[in-house]
Each structure stands twice: as C-alpha cells, then as structure tokens.
Structure 1
C-alpha cells in the first residue's frame, strides 16, 4: 500500500497477474479511498492507457493510444476529483480499454476490439481462446474482484461509473455536454441531471446518450449495479470539457454535489 493522496489510502491490486503481466508492468487496479465507509462507490473502467510490455504496444500507430480510442480522456482525473470531494472509494483500471475493456462482457465483440473508430488494432487481430483468457485473468478479473470487494466491505447505497466521450464518433456529431445512462433507475439519473441543471442551466444534458445500456455490450450496470439494487448511473462527460484542470474541477464540483443529492433523496 502506498499513500499517494493526502486524503486517504490508495491501494494497488496485484492479484491475477497471470502470464501476461511482467514485474515491470503496473498493477491493473487502483483503489482510492479504499478504507472509506461511504455509501457511494465510484468506478472508472477506462481511466488508463497502459499496455502490457508483452503486447508490444498492440501495434498501434504513433499517438493512437492518446486518442479517445485508447482511454476516456479526462475521465480518470475527473473520477479522482469526485472521489476526493465525496471521500468515497474509487476503483480505477490502469490498462487501456484496447487491451481488454472492463465495461464489456468478456468474450463479447467489443471486449478486445480488432478496430476502434476506424483505427486498426493489430495486436488484437485473430486472438485465440488462450490469449483472450490471459487478458481476462490478468486485467479484467482483478477489476471485477475489486468492485465486488468494495461492495462487500461496507453497506453501499449507490454506485456511479465515470466516463468521457468524444464529440464526433463514426461520422456522427454528439452535441450533449453530458449523458446519464441507466435502464431501471431513471429516478437517480434524473436527480443528477436536475441537480446539475440548477447550477449550470446552459448545459445540454441527456438521458441514455450517447448510447444505450444493453446486457450484451455492458458490464457495470447489468452485472453489478442492477443485481445489487443500489442507486446507479453511468455518467458520460464530453471530453472537451476535461482537457484542463479548471474543466475537471468544474465538473467534479457539479458531479459531487449531484451524487450527494441523489443519495440523500428518499427512494420512491
């Protein structure tokens, strides 16, 4: 365990390294405020850009890992800032979503993509069951176990997954400033949107944009939040809002207050 924040413990999970990760590779999971008894748990599945050394950069073109295909730009910084404000646990994945996407069911088409937004990922082409199992064991499973552990450690009332999205994707414009994704818990999403709108009426907020939650393509909501019956929303902030510290701080204030309001409101 190392103390990298003054606010609380930051624990790096080492389990499940398997044969893919070497000693010089980072641990896949980081848990901030791990000892917190807060009723809220935060996740950031697409925070990281790391690629195991054994995968030789996945054969990506120069600079591709820094684009939105490699990670959710600004999402990790935003999630940390919200976690610090709420003093609640935050579970972070350090590896790029292109290695394996920790918000996709293992074995699904989007779990280990051969291309993303028109960019080929040569290191993901033609992988066999053994290769896919190694990535699941080394990277996906520790993240999944850390989520379970956070819920098991203390009673939790709510969970929120923090992401960012790009304004232009596959030729389509995505004009929303933020989206709030859910299926069964629309009341919580609407409380978040209402709280933010009171403080920033000029923002365009949308329910279930820029995409829809589905069992076949999503993990956090179908496999963790819904079965536990906790309040939940997957939060997507447009990444041009998160390009500097001021933008991150502004959105962290909005989201921390909104999450506080959502947890405080009595359930119908």
Structure 2
C-alpha cells in the first residue's frame, strides 16, 4: 500500500458518534466495534468481501443492542464509525492488535508493513478522536455532578479457530469487579442464557483497554458485555438479548462503591 498521510476524507465524516448526549441515565454505553466501514484511502486492505463483512471487521449486532439499551434507559451512547481493521479502538497504539496483521483465521495484507506515517495517521485520525470524545463525555458529566456507569457492548463468534464456544453472554471486568459481580449474581440460574465471568475473553487478553482508560482511571463502575453473535443476527434476537441485559443491568444498579 502506498504511504498515506491522511486516511479519512472530509466527505467520510468523523471517527466517533455520540447519540442521546443529554440522556438522563447514569449509564454511558460504548461500542468500539460498531462499524465495518473502511476509510476509502485504505481500500479493501487486500481482503475479500467475505472477510470485510466478517466478525474480524466489526461486532455484528453490538450497535443494535447498544441502541436498544440506550432507548430503554435514556442513556448516552458513544460508538466508533470505522472498522477495527483500520484501528481497534479497544487497544492502545503499542498493541499489535490495534492494527492487526492476522485476525482469527484471516491475514490482513493491508496491515502488513504499514509505514510510520500511515500508522500515525490511523492513530491520530481514529484512536485519538475516540479517546478524546470519551474523555470529554466523562469529564462533562462529572462537571455537571452526574453519576456515570460505563458499559461497553461487544459480540463474539460462536466458533473461534475451529473451537465451539458454549458461553452465550460474557460479563467482563478488569480490577474493579463491583458491577460485574452484581450482574453475575442476578444472572445466576436465569434459565435463558449461559452467562459467565470473563468469557470468552478476559483482561489477560488485552480486551479491557476502554474499561481501564475511562472506567478505572475515573473511579467509575464499569463492565464489558460480550454476546455471542449468532444470538443477535436478527432484530428479534437483538430484542430478546437487549431485554435480558436491560433487566440485569437495571436490577444491578445502584451498586455500592
């Protein structure tokens, strides 16, 4: 790929969107992997149409769930407008997974041997605006005397590198377990979904970057929710899962600090 000094054209809009900015809920919903769109300057990254629409590019169903939760709670939602193949905003710039060369079983040719200028452009135009917007949102709420509870929403594949995953909903946390503990207690024996702690990923896999940077750093209650994506391919499944998660979250707040 030829060297790029800018990757997002003026007609492509901004990297991050905030919906329902004045929502009354203490919940601040975040969706880092909401979109499969690639900046035009990056072309296809050498990938087939199948790969560009696969889970490696985004979290199918995650934004739909987050929007349903936003409507249910009147909560602010912040989400990313470009594919994690361009830059994964749940990873710091020094992480190899921020601009992955291989994701699951797919090689990403356009992410191999990225020049320093293009790497910097991706960080500056996607990651930095994302980080600033989240930080500004949290800071504005604090300045207004508002409580903030950070909830990030993701989906995962039912099969990973040939191995089936039984877990249906993962409740993930880093060092602060308060909200995760409360949600897991409410989910115990629910009879609807198999809900597990730090599955199919955990902090040791580097997936809690947003929780650490914006939750732990600000002393906020925080949790990361992972939903198996075969459950939320259609609106009916999204409604069921969002309803289930809404009940768990609603029953788990407030959690004592």
**TM-aligned CA deviation for residue 126 of structure 1:** 0.3
Residue 160 (str. 1) matches residue 151 (str. 2): yes
In the other structure, the counterpart of 1:265 is 255
> Gaps spanning 5+ residues in structure 1: where?
1-17
1:100-129 Cα distance to aligned partner (Å, 9 max, x none): 000011121100001111211111110122
Alignment of 1:18-57 (within 5 A): 19-57=6-44
Report if aligned partners of 1:20, 1:134 keep a CA contact under 8 Å in 2: yes
Q: 2:116 aligns with which of 129, 142, 149?
A: 129
**TM-aligned CA deviation for residue 223 of structure 1:** 1.3
1:206-233 Cα distance to aligned partner (Å, 9 max, x none): 1011111149554112211111111111
| Distance in 2 between residues matched to 1:229 and 1:262, nearest whole Å | 18
Provide the TM-score with structure 2 as the length reference: 0.91
Report if aligned partners of 1:158, 1:263 keep a CA contact under 8 Å in 2: no
Task: Identify if the C-alpha distance between structure 1 residues 190 and 218 changes in structure 2 by more than 3 Å, giving closer, same or farther.
Answer: closer
**TM-aligned CA deviation for residue 172 of structure 1:** 2.1
1:37-72 Cα distance to aligned partner (Å, 9 max, x none): 421111000010111111112111122121111110
RMSD: 1.7
Q: 2:128 aligns with which of 137, 141, 165?
A: 141
Task: Identify if the C-alpha distance between structure 1 residues 105 and 257 changes in structure 2 by more than 3 Å, giving closer, same or farther.
Answer: same
| Distance in 1 between residues matched to 2:163 and 2:140, nearest whole Å | 42
| Distance in 2 between residues matched to 1:33 and 1:139, nearest whole Å | 21
In the other structure, the counterpart of 1:14 is none
Report if aligned partners of 1:68, 1:166 keep a CA contact under 8 Å in 2: yes
| Distance in 1 between residues matched to 2:94 and 2:115, nearest whole Å | 11
Alignment of 1:167-186 (within 5 A): 167-186=158-177
| Distance in 2 between residues matched to 1:252 and 1:59, nearest whole Å | 35
In the other structure, the counterpart of 1:191 is 182
**TM-aligned CA deviation for residue 98 of structure 1:** 0.5
Task: Identify if the C-alpha distance between structure 1 residues 84 and 257 changes in structure 2 by more than 3 Å, giving closer, same or farther.
Answer: same
Provide the TM-score with structure 1 as the length reference: 0.87
Residue 227 (str. 1) matches residue 214 (str. 2): no
Report if aligned partners of 1:178, 1:238 keep a CA contact under 8 Å in 2: yes
> Gaps spanning 5+ residues in structure 2: where?
none
In the other structure, the counterpart of 2:77 is 90
SS at match of 2:166: coil
| Distance in 2 between residues matched to 1:187 and 1:164, nearest whole Å | 22
**TM-aligned CA deviation for residue 197 of structure 1:** 4.5
Report if aligned partners of 2:174, 2:212 keep a CA contact under 8 Å in 1: no
Q: 1:115 aligns with which of 83, 94, 102?
A: 102
SS at match of 2:25: coil
Report if aligned partners of 2:179, 2:252 keep a CA contact under 8 Å in 1: yes
Q: How many residues align structurally? A: 249
